[in-house]
Structure 1
């Protein structure tokens, strides 16, 4: 054999090159083949795919539920009161507005012959219903609720016989924990939902109606629309109004001894904040970040 020649011979050299070519072809075609010429199965990361799908589903659910609420709140902000637009509720379709005298207080044993149902102004109990974003499971005495309106609260009432549990939950989300609001069932209500602030009312069919947020934005502690600016919505200890066991709603018609809407000679009470400069105890004052100057020409 000549010196310097490859001992492996040309046949072996060619075989090595063929093996390399076959390996390269396999790589290009998707990997090695199992016995019998069938490609080996590829590993699919199902766990990663499932986790990604779950995250996308969660994002979609949040978007469906939160984006509309955010948009509704943004839209409602157009109804925030300002110097140029002191009562934005005039631009909300369906709002009933009536002027009522303020500060006419009755005793816990008395009834008022209200001219509206639910009432939204006129004589009322000397003690207000707690309205610190309070959701009452049972109907409450209307004379207490009207006093809350005099303090700048919005009262959300609903007919428990016509409004579904899902719609009640939707309403509750708008009230629960929001200061200067309260919510309660109102048996016999002639519409599924009725919103009240002092001198204003809006009756609606659905808890999804955008006008609910507009009404609350326009009239909750709007210094231009309620008499006792700066008055509290908190419970007065020992007052007789317990938010856990409030005075009950009376569905019967007021008797002939009921106090008329003009007060029947009862003088307006000047003993609360907003009346003749008298003040509530410091722990029952409106928080400093919510205090507002009385509106011009108001009863405060």
Structure 2
């Protein structure tokens, strides 16, 4: 009996991978899996860093808004309570028009009955004393009235005048009978300072020029009396 190449016994058995080949393949698979794990961890770590950074920024922004600080972390010069501020109950301050004089309980007055004509208060600086009854009407419109006595230094008076001229809804005049050197008055609000560079000047102007205390918001500061009665 002859045997040819077609005989099944001549078939070459399938080659099995050698030990070295299997080892190389296993190392390749392990390296691939390790790389995938490392990449996944790197992505997860980056995500966590970004989330933590965003959360810290949100907390910092919230704290800044709550404590009245500017974005740079410094406290605002115009925010917060004003030291030495005096307040009167607005409900007890009369608002009737009066053609005659009015006896005010505070000096300078911060509200009460007043003349039908207001003083122009669009940054107006008066060189002479003005009638209380007209100035009070300006306060009713949301103006801040800056007054000064002979105790105020000339340099402070000049600095305040410049500031008033550049600030709508303000007026300024001398006031001989006031106790302090410089007084800032709004409707129901008043503070006394010794110099123009006192930070309370900026605070008062920022908070009370057409501030929430204004009895007649939207009323004008022009079109009233432009001259001081003699």
TM score, norm. by length of structure 2: 0.64
Aligned residues: 154
* Contact kept in structure 2, 1:120 and 1:201, CA below 8 Å: yes
> What root-mean-square deviation, in Å, do the aligned CA atoms of Structure 1 and Structure 2 show?
1.5
The alignment partner of 1:125 has SS state of coil
Give the match for residue 247 of structure 1: 229
In structure 2, the CA distance between the partners of 1:95 and 1:234, relative to structure 1 (3 Å rule), is: same
State yes or no: 1:201 paired with 2:202: no
Cα displacement string for residues 182-216 of structure 1 (whole angstroms, at most 9, x for unaligned residues): 00000122110110000000011111111000000
Looking at structure 1, the residues matched to 180 and 95 of structure 2 have their Cα atoms a distance apart, in angstroms, of 29
Q: How does 1:14-29 map to 2 (within 5 A)?
A: none
User: How far apart are residue 165 of structure 1 and its match?
Assistant: 1.3
* Contact kept in structure 1, 2:145 and 2:171, CA below 8 Å: yes
User: How far apart are residue 235 of structure 1 and its match?
Assistant: 2.2
The alignment partner of 2:77 has SS state of helix
Unpaired runs of 5+ residues, structure 1, are 1-73, 80-87, 249-300
State yes or no: 1:106 paired with 2:94: no
Looking at structure 1, the residues matched to 173 and 84 of structure 2 have their Cα atoms a distance apart, in angstroms, of 21
Partner residue of 1:190 out of 157, 162, 179: 179
Partner residue of 1:144 out of 108, 129, 134: 134
**Greater fraction of residues in helix:** 2
Asked which structure has the greater CA Rg, the reply is 2
Looking at structure 2, the residues matched to 177 and 128 of structure 1 have their Cα atoms a distance apart, in angstroms, of 20
Unpaired runs of 5+ residues, structure 2, are 1-74
* Contact kept in structure 2, 1:193 and 1:206, CA below 8 Å: yes
The alignment partner of 1:169 has SS state of helix
